[in-house]
Amino acid sequence: MMTRRKLLQTSAAPIAGAMALPALSAAIQASSTVYRRPKLKITDVRTAMVLVHGPQAHIRIYTDQGLIGQGESTDAAIGTPALIQSFKRFLMGADPLNVEAIWEQLRRNVFSGAQGGQYITALSGLEIALWDLAGKALGLPVYQLLGGKFRDKVRIYLDTDMKDNLGPEADRKLAFAKEKGFSVAKIDIDEAADPHRFDRFNRTANNAEMDRMLKEVQHIREKLDPSIELAVDMHAFYDAPTAKRVAKELEPFRLLWLEEPVPAENIDAMAEVKRSTNTPIACGENLYLRWGYRELMEKRAVDIIQPDFQKAGGLAEGKKIANLADAYYIPVAPHCVVSPVGLMASVHACAAFPNFLVLEWHWVNHQDLWKNWIKEGEIIERGFVTVPDRPGLGVEMNEEVAKKAQMQGTSWFGPNGAGSDRD
């Protein structure tokens, strides 16, 4: 490795007399950094797709000094390998320590739909890999690069991911929540297959559906340990009249939040629901970038926001969204459905802003994969993840285990990018 001192010894000494000091200084500036090593250059970017909570993408950035950064993107991540291939022309030879400038250059690629959707999902995973790389290059944990930590441990909530809120699965999952020390659990009450539905596309819940929802929440609240807070998700499935009725009827249960009672695409409708009830309203997993949250904040349309850092723009963008929310005294409970690599990335970001509430864990139905996905093993202890002090994200993928979830027909960090390893 070329250090500043070595450079001086090898290049400056023989020509000390011939080379003027300003020229020597310029030579050093061009080939090294203040971190006393030669400038890093990106040499390759590769992807691997897995199928766990839908298609999820793992992204690796390679450098000329052997350092590798890894990130993850999720939800509609199916296009990530192709998009990462298309980013390559901007990335090859770039200094990966300029994380935000690289991110901004790619975001301003306005002809690629750069304000949301799959483009920002891919960019999020890439940005996380850049932070991992920067941390490893500088010998610092990512939270430190994001401005330092407000907390040593990040609170995690259990998404129960249940098919049936009333049967033995509920008994099992609620006992698990208590046994593992979680302080918050979440259930879903939207049901596309409810036999009472008016029709397939209508968003209005009739009384029979409303009774089912109330019965489920009541049952769970009675069975769940009183020390554990309950959140309820409606998955953007219903209309405003239904959302207002449900939120009102659920008031006695003192939910931590009611999530996406209406779709987040109409901010005024969300605000109408929020103003109608004392039940705290949350949304955000389907919004992108700080601009996607601006109107939500300005109109005070929700009580809690839920950005997904593997989807909404990455860790620095997540922090900016959280800082914006803090100006409105809105807490942040990030959506998170990824592997331990992605969750640990979110942990670093959640440590680095004050108004953090709780972070989601969604792999309760994939626990064998979860526990073995990284070499560090289980990272959730008594409902918290300790913010690691190792350089970068501080976790390393256990490839033999992760590869079990590889998506058919996709490349496993192969050189061919978007295709399979055989093409």
**Could you tell me if 303 and 282 are in contact, meaning their C-beta atoms sit under 8 angstroms apart?**
yes
Shortest spacing between CB 220 and Mg ion, in angstroms: 16
Residue 20 burial by CB count (10 A; 0-12/13-18/19+): exposed, middle or buried?
Answer: exposed
Nearest CB to Mg ion, comparing residues 130 and 220: 220
**What tokens appear for 306 in the block?**
């839920």
How many whole angstroms separate alpha carbon 242 and alpha carbon 248? Answer: 10
Shortest spacing between CB 46 and Mg ion, in angstroms: 31
Residues 6+ apart with CB under 8 A from 18: none
Residue closest to Mg ion (Cβ): 233
Continuous segment of H or E residues that includes residue 344: helix 340-351
Stretch that binds Mg ion, among 80-88, 229-237, 245-253, 384-392 (CB under 5 A): 229-237
Nearest CB to Mg ion, comparing residues 54 and 139: 54
Owner of token pair 């309203």: 281
Other Cβ atoms closer than 10 A to 95: 16
Shortest spacing between CB 259 and Mg ion, in angstroms: 5
Q: Which of residues 259-288 bind Mg ion (CB under 5 A)?
A: 259
**Could you tell me if 80 and 54 are in contact, meaning their C-beta atoms sit under 8 angstroms apart?**
no
Shortest spacing between CB 159 and Mg ion, in angstroms: 8
Shortest spacing between CB 285 and Mg ion, in angstroms: 5
* DSSP letter, residue 396: -
Shortest spacing between CB 359 and Mg ion, in angstroms: 13
How many whole angstroms separate alpha carbon 238 and alpha carbon 138? Answer: 48
Nearest CB to Mg ion, comparing residues 87 and 257: 257
209 lies in the binding site for Mg ion (CB under 5 A): no
Owner of token pair 């064998």: 368
Q: Give the side-chain half-sphere CA count within 13 A for 304.
A: 25
Stretch that binds Mg ion, among 152-160, 162-170, 230-238, 407-415 (CB under 5 A): 230-238
Nearest CB to Mg ion, comparing residues 117 and 417: 117
Nearest CB to Mg ion, comparing residues 127 and 308: 308
Shortest spacing between CB 89 and Mg ion, in angstroms: 36
Q: Give the chain's end-to-end CA distance (angstroms, integer).
A: 36
**What tokens appear for 293 in the block?**
């949250």
**Could you tell me if 157 and 184 are in contact, meaning their C-beta atoms sit under 8 angstroms apart?**
yes
161 lies in the binding site for Mg ion (CB under 5 A): no
Shortest spacing between CB 378 and Mg ion, in angstroms: 24
Residues 6+ apart with CB under 8 A from 161: 362, 364, 365
Find the binder of Mg ion among 75, 233, 303, 317 (CB under 5 A). Answer: 233
Stretch that binds Mg ion, among 13-21, 79-87, 253-261, 349-357 (CB under 5 A): 253-261
Stretch that binds Mg ion, among 61-69, 150-158, 254-262, 387-395 (CB under 5 A): 254-262
Stretch that binds Mg ion, among 29-37, 90-98, 156-164, 251-259 (CB under 5 A): 251-259
List residues binding Mg ion (CB under 5 A).
233, 259
